[in-house]
Amino acid sequence: MKISLTSGKTISCSSESSILESLRKEDVHLTASCGGKGTCGKCRVIIKEGAVRSLSTAKLSQEEIDKGYALACKSFPEENLLIEIPKDSFLTLEGKIAVGKARDLAELLQSAGVRIEPLTERVLLNLPQPSIDDNISDLERLKRGLMSKGLGCLRVPFRLLPGLAHKVRENNWEITLCTVQSEDCYELTNIFPGNTQSPRYGFAIDIGTTTVVVYLVDLADGRLIDIASVYNSQISFGDDVITRIVHAVDHNGLGALHKAVISDINTMFSILRKTHNIDINSIDSIVIAANTTMTHLFLNLDPASIREEPYIPTANLFPLSYAGEVGIRVNPNTPIYSFPCVASYVGGDIVAGVLASRMHKKEDLCLFLDIGTNGEVVLGNSEWLMAAACSAGPCFEGSGIKYGMRATEGAIEDVKINPETIEPEIKVIGDTAPIGICGSGMIDLIAEMFFTGILNQKGKLQKGVSNRIREGAGGLEFVVYSGNGREIVIAEPDIENIIRAKAAIYAGCSVLLKEVGFNFEDLHKIYIAGGFGKFLDIDKAIILGMLPDIPREKFEYLGNTSVTGAYLCMLSRWMRDEAEEIARKMTYLELSVSRSFMDEYVSGLFIPHTDMNAFPSVKNLIKG
């Protein structure tokens, strides 16, 4: 069967693959924030001719359905189709706003006192032409050339031999060699005819449970060229790591989960390469940082034992793999460095975060808090590091919140509520019409609603306070925005989710400190990581009771530290050494079995907290 696009292209399809999948195979990428679950309603197409079997029409109005709109992810061709793809449905990579962070990255690298020495290098050789008197073989000639550059110990794998004779002769014995150096190997990865020393690029990737972020980096100077991010398509198999492991184990779904995230990465690579006109053979390195389960699924490793006591991953320190081994569509010999993990529930993303925070180099006690899908916290200094996971859930990344979204264009990132008029004033990323609320916006919103009395300490909406409060399908809701034929509301179930998440985070930090005999006052610094966007309003987060009420200057918001760590390791072997040392040094405290964690958590299910004495500045504000 075939699908013809009104734009001219024709692709093949089958009744077993959704239109979304068939388009993706042909490099036509549609937005599908929900990972193809049929819930986000973004992958709309208009069926002009032919019949489809549609399993869901969520978020489509009857009028749209009548006009032929269908969700590509849930529609399966029954015959040849002619479809139109509305402009809005095309995937545009998000997250570009963070490109502003480029300067910070270079500064970070400099402040760590390391020079750029990427995972992979390129070496130019101009070999003498063979003659009757100098008739050693091509391989020996190449090795002699390497020896003269001090690279005699480099391993040359067999796979580079076929084709070698052509490559050395193609540009008159001038060749460029790609090398990789990691803990377990120092070897040649590729050979290209002629001088291809530049340009060369790397992809640093944060594979989050909810979001996958890619940094495209110039390996010569460490310049961040572009950023892409998409929702992790594995979402269609479950929101958290546990349901994904269950899917892998009970539904023989490892292959599908693996393919989903590989496909997300390939999509971003393909768009970034096209945008910046980058040749596939100029991609030299890939570094991924991810939690232990995401790392396993990316590498196609069985995650079953991660979930079963005594919680054993296949590996914590991963040997180097190659793009061809995991299905990444660049040169198959491009090496992939996977961040070391600590244990089943403390992964490479946290190691990367500590690395980016530099807390492992500080004498004073610091706390690192990563507010991602799970919520992890690390306490320690240059002597020791202890980590815990708080099971906060992915609501600050937009998941589980009706109008939640990531910090990308169209997200409300900042909310102020006028105490007089009780009318909200919003700031939207990209200054466009809002389409949802991101993590920082949610924190602002709850804090402001609490402060203006729209919300009580228990997180219940106070019906009389604002006429924006109304009865919705899921209980009371507050209309944050209404305009352009669109409404953005926050409902009580959303608020409950946010309160549960912030309570878990606060409890995690608090209990971890207590376990080692410290409290919040002993902290020199609190580093906060997470996909909140450019800013996180610390004051509002304290009012919410997510962060402790200590001097504001002790807080530092670092953004996505997982991808920052991946960036650092791609550019410096010293950073890789440090990452491995962090992973070795870090110990893990299991909170889920801790009674004091449950107590702290329950106490935190108020705004800001049951114990108002722990939040003196908030207490003062309310009094004032």
Of 137 and 198, CB closest to a copy of itself: 137
User: Closest distance between a copy of itself and the C-beta of residue 305, in Å?
Assistant: 6
Question: Starting from the edge strand earliest in sequence, which strands make up the sheet with 411-417, in order?
Answer: 424-428, 411-417, 436-437
Q: Which of residues 309-328 bind a copy of itself (CB under 8 A)?
A: 309-322, 325
User: Closest distance between a copy of itself and the C-beta of residue 375, in Å?
Assistant: 22
User: Closest distance between a copy of itself and the C-beta of residue 389, in Å?
Assistant: 15
Of 155 and 460, CB closest to a copy of itself: 155
**Cα angle at 68 between 489 and 408, to 5 degrees?**
35
Of 63 and 309, CB closest to a copy of itself: 309
Write the CB contacts of 558 (distance below 8 Å, at least 6 apart in sequence): 353, 356, 357, 527, 528, 529, 564
Residue 131 interacting with a copy of itself (CB under 8 A): yes
Residue 299 interacting with a copy of itself (CB under 8 A): yes
Q: What are the Cα distances from residue 208, in Å, to 76, 223, 371, 509, 582? A: 29, 23, 11, 21, 20
Pick the binder of a copy of itself from 46, 60, 82, 139 (CB under 8 A). Answer: 139
Of 7 and 158, CB closest to a copy of itself: 158
User: Closest distance between a copy of itself and the C-beta of residue 396, in Å?
Assistant: 30
Write the CB contacts of 340 (distance below 8 Å, at least 6 apart in sequence): 316, 317, 318, 348, 351, 579, 580, 582, 583, 584
Of 154 and 605, CB closest to a copy of itself: 154
Pick the binder of a copy of itself from 185, 225, 242, 612 (CB under 8 A). Answer: 185
For residue 148, the cross-strand partners are: none
Pick the binder of a copy of itself from 61, 137, 519, 620 (CB under 8 A). Answer: 137
DSSP 36-99: SSS-S---EEEEEES-EEES--TT--HHHHHTTEEEGGGEEESS-EEEE--GGGB---B-GGGG
User: Closest distance between a copy of itself and the C-beta of residue 170, in Å?
Assistant: 12
Of 292 and 497, CB closest to a copy of itself: 292
Pick the binder of a copy of itself from 21, 84, 138, 492 (CB under 8 A). Answer: 138
What contacts 24+ positions apart, CB below 8 Å, involve 513-519? 513/367, 513/379, 514/596, 515/386, 515/589, 515/594, 516/379, 516/386, 518/365, 518/379
User: Closest distance between a copy of itself and the C-beta of residue 317, in Å?
Assistant: 7
Say if residue 456 is exposed, middle or buried (CB neighbours under 10 Å; 0-12, 13-18, 19+). Answer: middle
**Helix ranges restricted to H, 211-365:** 241-250, 254-276, 292-298, 304-307, 323-326, 348-357
Of 513, 477, 507, 471, the C-alpha closest to 494 is 477
DSSP 471-506: EETTEEEEEEEEETTEEEEEEHHHHHHHHHHHHHHH
DSSP H/E element including 287: strand 283-290
Of 140 and 364, CB closest to a copy of itself: 140
Site string for a copy of itself, 324-363 (x = CB under 8 A): -x-----------------x--------------------
Of 384, 606, 616, the C-alpha closest to 515 is 384
Of 203 and 318, CB closest to a copy of itself: 318
Q: Which of residues 582-611 bind a copy of itself (CB under 8 A)?
A: none
Of 82 and 139, CB closest to a copy of itself: 139
Of 8 and 310, CB closest to a copy of itself: 310
Of 308 and 423, CB closest to a copy of itself: 308
Candidate ranges 98-106, 128-136, 451-459, 547-555; the one touching a copy of itself (CB under 8 A): 128-136
Number of helices (H), then strands (E), in the chain: 18, 28
Residue 184 interacting with a copy of itself (CB under 8 A): yes
Other Cβ atoms less than 10 A from the Cβ of 392: the count is: 25
Residue 73 contacts residue 48 (beta carbons within 8 Å): no
Q: Which of residues 147-166 bind a copy of itself (CB under 8 A)?
A: 155-159, 161-166
User: Closest distance between a copy of itself and the C-beta of residue 165, in Å?
Assistant: 4
Of 139 and 550, CB closest to a copy of itself: 139
Q: Which of residues 11-50 bind a copy of itself (CB under 8 A)?
A: none
Pick the binder of a copy of itself from 62, 66, 132, 277 (CB under 8 A). Answer: 132
Binding-site size, a copy of itself (CB under 8 A)? 46
Site of interaction with a copy of itself (CB under 8 A): 130-132, 134-140, 155-159, 161-166, 169, 184-185, 299-302, 304-305, 309-322, 325, 343
